[in-house]
Amino acid sequence: MNPRIGFIGLGIMGRPMCKNLLKAGYELVVCGHIDKGPVEELAAAGAKTADSPRQVAAQTDILITMLPNSPQVEEVVLGENGVIAGARPGLVLVDMSSIAPLVSRSLAAALAAKGVEMLDAPVSGGEPKAIQGTLSVMVGGKQDVFDRCFPVLKAMASSVVLTGAIGAGNVAKLANQVIVALNIAAISEALVLAAKAGVDPQLVFQAIRGGLAGSAVLEAKAPLMLDRNFNPGFRLNLHIKDLANALDTAHQVGAPLPLTAFVMEMMQTLKAEGLGDSDHAVILRYFELISHTELKS
């Protein structure tokens, strides 16, 4: 018998993830305390609804959270009407938000006192892969809890990997976000170089995509840059949040991240220009600004 799934956090990522759970045949209980539109949409698709995280926890076996950052997850889990208030022994919380690893460990300890297990399971792939159900999920937690939740996670993802104990999922996600940020910056720098040198950046993209410079990031972001389409699939502000968590974690463990710090300042420059809600491909604009050119394919 399939477990009953709870889902809290129905934004750009959460909404399509819920739809894929419904398509896979899971009974779903959702809660969205800010925007009721997604709640109504998912209810029309077959989900049940609840008014608080406490109510969701009281009637589900596996509860998924997909929220912006550590403070929001802490509020939903530990708040007055939070998950912990409605939790019963045997519940599993799967936090698919991208938050600080130490916060994941703290939440897991608080939940363990109530007999509740936890996995931290942040994702990569953005809105397109959330819609397709082909996300990459990086998981931290116990093997037996992971095995119990694996079919549920596979309903939303093509890759689900246990990376270690609780908190390890978010460490893996921070590593992912460092690599993505630096890749986007490198692609931006290279395409602006091509444009400034008088070479069509679209043809440069076609020439390099099959070689060593080819990557998933290049395939996903270069076309957006060439089309000057910065509608958010993954907002720059969210990537700034992830890099802030990466830098904080790096400082705690003694792992300097000089390239990450540099890209973070590029992002902060763009945020100051009012571009924080644009897709993170807008990093291109930083290089256009300093080179006094504009990419045109």
Instruction: Supply the residues annotated as catalytic.
Output: 173
Least confident of 29-38, 161-170, 235-244, 270-279: 29-38
Q: What is the pLDDT of residue 233?
A: 83
Q: What angle do CA 289, 185, 275 make, to 5 degrees?
A: 55
Q: What is the pLDDT of residue 294?
A: 94
Tell me: pLDDT of 215 over 70. Answer: yes
Q: What is the pLDDT of residue 34?
A: 65
Q: What is the pLDDT of residue 33?
A: 64
Q: What is the pLDDT of residue 1?
A: 80
> Average pLDDT, whole number, for the chain?
96
- Segment 147-173 shows an average pLDDT of 98
Q: What is the CATH number of domain 5-166?
A: 3.40.50.720
Segments of the chain assigned E as strands = 5-8, 28-31, 48-49, 62-65, 92-95, 117-120, 123-124, 135-140, 157-164
Give the pLDDT band of residue 296 (cuts 50, 70, 90).
Answer: confident
Domain 171-291 is of which CATH architecture? Orthogonal Bundle (1.10)
Burial of residue 33 (CB within 10 Å: 0-12, 13-18, 19+) is middle
- Segment 1-11 shows an average pLDDT of 94
Same fold flag, 5-166 and 171-291:
no
- Segment 44-50 shows an average pLDDT of 95
- Residue extents of the structural domains in the chain: 5-166, 171-291
Give the pLDDT band of residue 117 (cuts 50, 70, 90).
Answer: very high
Residue 190: count other Cβ atoms within 10 Å of its Cβ. Answer: 18
Give DSSP secondary structure letters for 244-291.
Answer: HHHHHHHHHHT---HHHHHHHHHHHHHHHTT-TTSBGGGHHHHHHHHH
Residue 62: count other Cβ atoms within 10 Å of its Cβ. Answer: 22
Contact by Cβ (8 Å): 7, 21: yes
Could you give the 3-state DSSP secondary structure of residue 127? helix
One-letter identity of residue 68: P
Segments of 123-197 assigned E as strands = 123-124, 135-140, 157-164
pLDDT one-digit tens code per residue, 68-107: 999 999 999 999 999 999 999 999 999 999 999 999 999 9
Residue 297 CA to residue 293 CA, distance in Å, equals 13
pLDDT one-digit tens code per residue, 190-213: 999 999 999 999 999 999 999 999
Contact by Cβ (8 Å): 277, 237: yes
Q: What is the pLDDT of residue 13?
A: 94
Tell me: pLDDT of 37 over 90. Answer: no
Contact by Cβ (8 Å): 204, 272: no
What proportion of the chain, given as a percentage, has pLDDT over 90?
94
Q: What is the pLDDT of residue 264?
A: 98
Q: Nearest to residue 264, comparing CAs of 192, 182, 145? A: 182
